[in-house]
Structure 1
Amino acid sequence: MQNRIASPVSALFDALTRDGFSFVTADVMQPLLQASGELSDWDAFTESWNHLGPDPYLAATGRLRRRRHATYAATPRNDVELMPHQPHYQSLQYNQLQGDIKRWFDPIDVSVANSASLRTILAFCNDFFSSLTPAVAQWQVEVHQFRIEASAGAAGEPTPEGSHRDGVDFVLVLLIDRHNIASGTTTIHTPDRKPLGDFTLTHPFDAALIHDPRVFHGVTPVTPLDPSEPAHRDVLVVTFRAIS
């Protein structure tokens, strides 16, 4: 199958190959996605973030994070297949806060999991990550809808585990929406915590692409601009892990 991605994606290839990460502004990311498929149901797709359940594994700590989760299987540059609902698992090596636990989250609604917008995002990721690693024959793909909420008395923590790796090969972090918040800056570090770069996802379609084995990433806490109003940060996180 012919690669669906066209220029200026070569700049992203170069950045991930050279640095292990790339920050992509919305004016670049949105056309790249549209080259991979349709975003015709984008409004309904983003509205689904209003229907996420709380993360039960963080409730005891008072950190309010809402999320849904889905797993897919993919072969390079072919369709991505939705798999039966299953837990999300990370070892303690990658998540010292919640590692070695099979975490069951609410599944992403089937209509969202099969939506044109999500299918387009997954097609882009499959083409892009497969082109970076042509020897991979199969991928395990996980998709996470996150909403981080902040209040006057408690900052929202997008990455309560701190600066970390996810234990996968590649990560896409795509901003869906941010409302009434300050900060939420994505930071990239070397394994010995030397800072490599930072970028605040500000507009829908702003994104970070990460080669997970090479760098650590985190996000600074978010606080409300107006403490009397609701405040949240919505992102989609997609991870690709090669299956040997």
Structure 2
Amino acid sequence: MREHDCSEPGLLAALQDDGFRFVEAPAMRRLLQSHGALNDWEAFVGSWDELVPDAYLARTGRHRRRRYAVFSATADGAIRREPHQPHFQSSTYNALQGDIERWFEPIAPAIGDGASLRTMLAFVCGLFPQMAPAVRRWHIEVHQFRIEARPDEPGEPTPEGVHRDGVDYVLVLLIDRQNIASGTTTIHAADGTLLGSFTLTNPLDAALVDDSRVFHGVTAVTPLDPSQSAHRDVLVITLRRDD
């Protein structure tokens, strides 16, 4: 794996060779800013305070907050937001909540149209489709997640365990973490072999994953100070070919 080449060609080569890549915040900021601006960053981060409880996960006794949106991208570079729709995963990929349509509250229009998210969409649509140049149209799902850790209950960033999402490519981007320990992203081969691990610590630390080749998971998070609130905020963007 190319640990020190943080250029976009180096990132693409690492993904093609290994199926994943971790990128630290300074390099990720440079990559993003080569595709657009992040000048609404404060409002973008603040929108995580407006997430709503995931009612589907609450039925299993777990807790997280989220919002969701769907976009599409075409080979000519056009990216547009699609009408609000449910999130669906088969039980092949999500044994905990598979085979149901899950309706989540939409990402706020100002955030969906804002500079930061549009820059992130431009980045993933400039990078991942290079690995599948014959694809003419991509289905893009954007998830805002807040995982809350409680004194008596660790937060589970991936309650379904080590898994694949059932898409082609995934970007996991740290937005904020407050008063938490752990939350280590792990990458695995199909036989369970650990291929790599990295703790997203600073805003814009990122994991990029070829979901067709490797599995991923995140260890539970716990409060550093049990008397204070604790959370881990991430943005997840997935691309699935839509031909």
TM-score by length of 1: 0.96
* Runs of 4+ with >4 A deviation: none
Instruction: Give distance in 2, aligned partners of 1:199 and 1:42.
Output: 24
- Structure 1 residues 77-96: aligned runs within 5 Å: 78-96=77-95
- Shift in Å, 1:88: 0.1
* Match of residue 200 from structure 1: 199
Instruction: Give distance in 2, aligned partners of 1:92 and 1:131.
Output: 29
* Match of residue 131 from structure 1: 130
* Match of residue 3 from structure 1: none
Q: Deviations over 1:160-192 (max 9, x none)?
A: 000000000000000000000000000000111
Instruction: Give distance in 2, aligned partners of 1:71 and 1:10.
Output: 27
Matched, 1:8 2:7: yes
SS at match of 2:9: helix
Q: Which amino acid aligns with 2:63?
A: L
Instruction: Give distance in 1, aligned partners of 2:38 and 2:165.
Output: 27
8 Å contact from structure 1 (residues 169, 240) kept in 2: yes
- Shift in Å, 1:62: 2.4
Q: Which amino acid aligns with 2:32?
A: L
Instruction: Give distance in 1, aligned partners of 2:185 and 2:103.
Output: 26
Gaps of 5+ in 2: 1-5
TM-score by length of 2: 0.96
Gaps of 5+ in 1: 1-6
* Match of residue 225 from structure 1: 224
Q: Deviations over 1:88-115 (max 9, x none)?
A: 0000000000000100000101111111
* Match of residue 148 from structure 1: 147
Instruction: Give distance in 2, aligned partners of 1:168 and 1:162.
Output: 17
- Shift in Å, 1:143: 0.1
SS at match of 1:99: coil
- Shift in Å, 1:77: 5.2
Aligned residues: 238
* Match of residue 243 from structure 1: 242
Q: Which amino acid aligns with 1:17?
A: Q
* Match of residue 53 from structure 1: 52
8 Å contact from structure 1 (residues 23, 208) kept in 2: yes
Instruction: Give distance in 2, aligned partners of 1:177 and 1:77.
Output: 33
In structure 2, relative to structure 1, the CA distance for the partners of 1:47 and 1:18 (3 Å cut) is: same
Instruction: Give distance in 2, aligned partners of 1:107 and 1:52.
Output: 9
Instruction: Give distance in 2, aligned partners of 1:32 and 1:114.
Output: 20
- Structure 1 residues 34-53: aligned runs within 5 Å: 34-53=33-52
Q: Deviations over 1:191-223 (max 9, x none)?
A: 111110000000000000000010000000000
8 Å contact from structure 1 (residues 77, 123) kept in 2: no
Instruction: Give distance in 2, aligned partners of 1:31 and 1:188.
Output: 24
Aligned Cα RMSD in Å?
A: 0.9
* Match of residue 27 from structure 2: 28
8 Å contact from structure 1 (residues 151, 230) kept in 2: yes
8 Å contact from structure 1 (residues 30, 205) kept in 2: yes
SS at match of 1:74: strand
SS at match of 1:61: coil
